[in-house]
Every structure is written in structure tokens, then in C-alpha cells.
């Protein structure tokens, strides 16, 4: 029996999972874990070390060869060093979706996620937290929003980082990621049967966090 619950937040790319999860974790005094950063980091490592994003077995070897940890603020570190914005480029976003299709990679990263969250008192966000990583999570949520709204949010984020992209390009890339995430054979993006679904189209991140917290242990 965990002393504190595991809160699983799933949903598609660009829906605002990270922002909401950070707010929820801060308000509850829980630890925040961005699991998608793990797949981004594997894609980044593969790009750096010339490993194809299509080579599942070699990607798994690469993932196991490096140490992944999270800082107190929830930022991912690879071999003890923060990766920061290096894993937040459009190219690495595509790579993350590609490497996440491989069962070998997902298995290699599964224990990392479970080791971090197993004691409870954590908010984990990703695409298969409530279905695969922590199917026994005490609290499960699925955030949704239209592709256009999600693209607009991602577009503003990238432009604020100095990345020169068009809104249409961001939306097209996001739709491609959605297709990959929903149709992959291993741990596809689906809402867990016992997850509470929250539509984020017209809500701010603070409003989504408020709504999520209001639902804890009430469903």
C-alpha cells in the first residue's frame, strides 16, 4: 500500500500535460515526472551517436547504456547532466515519436519510470502511464484538446524559444505524431477505462489543474 497516490496524466502531444502536471505536483507537494522526456532523450542520444531511429534493438542498448534521473524540479538529466532545450526541437519531437514505437525501447525505459514513481507521491505525465506504466495508479486522467488548439500552443512555445516555424507545419507534424502514437503496436495512446477525461480546449492550465485536483479520490 502506497502512503501517497500515483497520479497518472495521459494525453496527446501539445495538450498541456507538462504544464498541468507541474502545477498539480507543486500544489500537492508531489514529485513531477515528464516521461516523454525519456523518449526525447533517447532520440537525441541516437542522433548524437548515429543510431537509426528505426533500429529498435540498438536504441534499447543505447537507452540502457545511459543513466536517466530527474532533478527536484522534474527536469530530466542524462548521465547526471540536464538536457534542457536540446530535446525540445521539432526534429527531436519527431524522433521521440519514432523511437517510442519500438517495444525494446519502451521495455528499457519502463523500469526507470516505475522506480521513480513506485513509492507514490508523484505526478507522471505521458501517453501510457495509466495503461502500461502504472495501470494500478490510484488517480488517472486523460487530457484532450483539438489539434488546432494544441498546435497553437506548441507554436507559441517554439516561437518563444526562437524556433522559426509556421503554425501549419506545427499542426501537420502534430497530426503525424498523433497517428504514430495512436497506431503503434506497443502501448498505443488510449484513454484508460478508469481515467477521468478532461477537455482542455477552453480551459487555462490553472483551470485544468483546479479541475483535476477537485476530482482526486472522488471518482
Using one digit for the tens of pLDDT, what is the confidence trace for 192-202?
999 999 999 99
- Which pLDDT score, from 0 to 100, does residue 219 have? 47
Q: How confident is the model at residue 1 (pLDDT cuts 50, 70, 90)?
A: low
pLDDT, greater one: 66 or 14: 66
pLDDT of residue 90: 85
Annotate the chain with three-state secondary structure.
CCCCCEEEEECCCCCCHHHHHHHHHHHHCCEEEECHHHHHHHHHHHHHCCCCCCCHHHHHHHHHHCCEEECCCCCEEECCEECHHHHCCHHHHHHHHHHCCCHHHHHHHHHHHHHHHCCCCEEEEECCHHHHHCCCCCEEEEEECCHHHHHHHHHHHHHHCCCCCCHHHHHHHHHHHHHHHHHCCCCCCCCCCCCEEEECCCCCHHHHHHHHHHHCCCC
The CATH code of the domain at 6-215 is 3.40.50.300
In this predicted model, which residue has the larger pLDDT, 184 or 211? 211
Amino acid at each position: 500500500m502506497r502512503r501517497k497516490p500515483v497520479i497518472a496524466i495521459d494525453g496527446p502531444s501539445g495538450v498541456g500535460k507538462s504544464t498541468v502536471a507541474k502545477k498539480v505536483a507543486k500544489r500537492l507537494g508531489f514529485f513531477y515526472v515528464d516521461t516523454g522526456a525519456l523518449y526525447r532523450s533517447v532520440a537525441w542520444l541516437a542522433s548524437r551517436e548515429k543510431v537509426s531511429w528505426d533500429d529498435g534493438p540498438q536504441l534499447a542498448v543505447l537507452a540502457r547504456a545511459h543513466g536517466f534521473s530527474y532533478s527536484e524540479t522534474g527536469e530530466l538529466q542524462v548521465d547526471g547532466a540536464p538536457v534542457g532545450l536540446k530535446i525540445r526541437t521539432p526534429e527531436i519531437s519527431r524522433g521521440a515519436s519514432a523511437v517510442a514505437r519500438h517495444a525494446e525501447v519502451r521495455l528499457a525505459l519502463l523500469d526507470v519510470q516505475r522506480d521513480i514513481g513506485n513509492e507514490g507521491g508523484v505526478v507522471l505525465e505521458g501517453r501510457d502511464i495509466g495503461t502500461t506504466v502504472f495501470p494500478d495508479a490510484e488517480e488517472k486522467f486523460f487530457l484532450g484538446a483539438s489539434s488546432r488548439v494544441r498546435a497553437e500552443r506548441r507554436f507559441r512555445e517554439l516561437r518563444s524559444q526562437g524556433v522559426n516555424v509556421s503554425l501549419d507545419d506545427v499542426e501537420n507534424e502534430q497530426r503525424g505524431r498523433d497517428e504514430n502514437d495512436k497506431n503503434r503496436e506497443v502501448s498505443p495512446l488510449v484513454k484508460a477505462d478508469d481515467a477521468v477525461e478532461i477537455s482542455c480546449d477552453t480551459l487555462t492550465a490553472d483551470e485544468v489543474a483546479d479541475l483535476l485536483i477537485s476530482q482526486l479520490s472522488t471518482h
